[in-house]
Chain A
Amino acid sequence: MSRLSSRHILPLASSIPIAVLSGFMMVLCGFCLLGLFGIQSITQNWLSETQDKLTIEVLAYDKDIIAVLDQAQLDTALIKIEKYLDNDPIVTSIDIQRFETQPLIDSDLTIPAPIFVVVNLLKNRIDNAEDRLMANITNLVPNTNFKTIQNWERDINQTATTLKVTFGGLTLCILIVTGVILIGFIKGHLKSNDQTIQIIHLMGADSSKIAALFQKFTFIPLILGLISSIIIISSVFTPALLLIDVNIDVFAFSIALLITNITFIALCQIVTYITVTHELRNLP
């Protein structure tokens, strides 16, 4: 069989802009995908790091009467907490984080900053040991807030979800922009090759056959775009991520990248088909 090739109606060179566009857009898609995988990895790191941690925030004001404490009161509270933590068997170490106090502008009043105590807990601790520790500290120093693993999980997951939605939205935007540009490109080619299309139509090609020719016309540049995007991502972005010590599952990422780009190509092919058949809908 000798099928009609797209080069018979459209010169292959005129498809170069599609190769450039698709390559660029697929790199952007790959970048978003890397972002998603990076967030996943970072989230897991954060969660594992906070797994056996409890953060105590020694407040700089009295919780009940909302009165600002002075530095001496804050230090006393901290000493009490330290003393307690030294004797609690589930505590392995503590890390105290103090922040600089800044005087208020145009005021003699200096409000001390809260103090954070990061408590590293025993891995094999009994159930409720954490609750007991928090209750005891609250009894000792009422002006305390606690950030438990559950709080951390909630915050980290919230941040991760926001970032994932952002990257997902970006991918969607990339697909939409590509689709719009592709539609314009196809319409332009339909217009500039009006005579050729008329001739093909008169020879017995219906709009779906002409659309199939346009699909062939866009397929090769899309594949070129796919190859170039894979080369760029694997040679630039992935090493960059590894350098900043983000451990992504390279195999899973490669599969996801391939699936994303194949989906990208499939969508471009569908857009091409729909655009051509829609534009030629008035042909008898």
Chain B
Amino acid sequence: MIGDMYLAWSSDEETLKKGEYGGVVTTLLKFALENKIVDAVLTVKKMDGNRYDGVLTLITNPEEVIECAGALHCAPLNIARALKEYLDGSKDMRIAVTCKPCDARAIIELVKREQINIENLVLIGLNCTGTLLPRVARRMFEEIYRVNPDDVVREDIDEGKLIIELRDGTRKEKDLDSLEEAGYGRRENCRRCEISIPRMADLACGKWGTMGKKATFIEVCTEKGSQLLDEAIKAGYLQVETPTREALDERSRKEKEALDRSKKWQEKNFNELKGLNYEERLNYWFNHFDRCIKCFSCRDACPICYCVECRLEVDRNFIPGGELPPDKLFHLTRLAHVGDSCVNCGQCQDACPMEIPISKLFHMLNKELSPLFEYVPGRAADQLPPLTVVTDEELRVDEPYLFLKKEST
């Protein structure tokens, strides 16, 4: 049933051994494939065994699923883009997808835009408190942890610490905040992200609330998720038990801790800008935009962008071609088009070759828009983007804050 919570673990010994916790995600994916609930699994694997090089993989052979077991903190991809771009929005293929909150949210946004067929998807959500850029992680491990990055076999973020485990079994940990103050640690957008538990997926799986047991905590989020879990249990793939009050509290506490940390980073990243006056703030961004070389990487990387004929392309006669930097409307248009639905996945900023902090701008503005329209991107497929449901009257409003106040009285 929706809302049910369990501690679960795989019935298969090998999976349980290989898994970091209960091996539940691997088991569910295998179950779905073996029982033809899906045609394929879309997930992330290490390229050539390199944990800093995560690539998407489409698995049809259940035996291959186990190779992808284990969280890869240094593989920051957004899976939604591949679904939309390369797999036809799961139109004709049933796929089980492992997704971090930003992946799941992006998928939901694309469902709203009719670019993804949610009927054909099973979303196995993965709790997430952030990913790292591979090159930053390597440098951090070398210079701060003083280890050979190739010796790291596992990373974990827990209780404000970034912990690594080496091939020989040694563990090292450093304070996360100190690392991030010094420019290491997680990607900037991850630091600001408020959503650690992907409740918009079918099942949300993670380690919070496992209280040191070799188990995975599952929260059932949809009917589809509930059904899948029940069937997997019935078929003997998984075993479950009810979590204790203590475990539930532990999970809530950790979720709140992550949220508090993210709020602090939002303040840090946004306050500087909010303190500038309008002209100063415009100059700040225009100075960044001056370096733009129109690679379109931000648009290509954005999981929300989906137009076949993009307004920014030269043949739309809007942004003149061949100009460097491109007209400022290039960025402002993208902002107007997707700003209300930005899920803060950070792919745009990762992809920008000119170090323009795009994610910071889009996230900041989305945080302004969100309370105004009471809209949280990626939360529910039936919550349509503000610009598509805005009324004529609302469009003509000059002072949105006053308008809303009037409405509520």
Decide whether A and B assemble into one complex. Answer: no
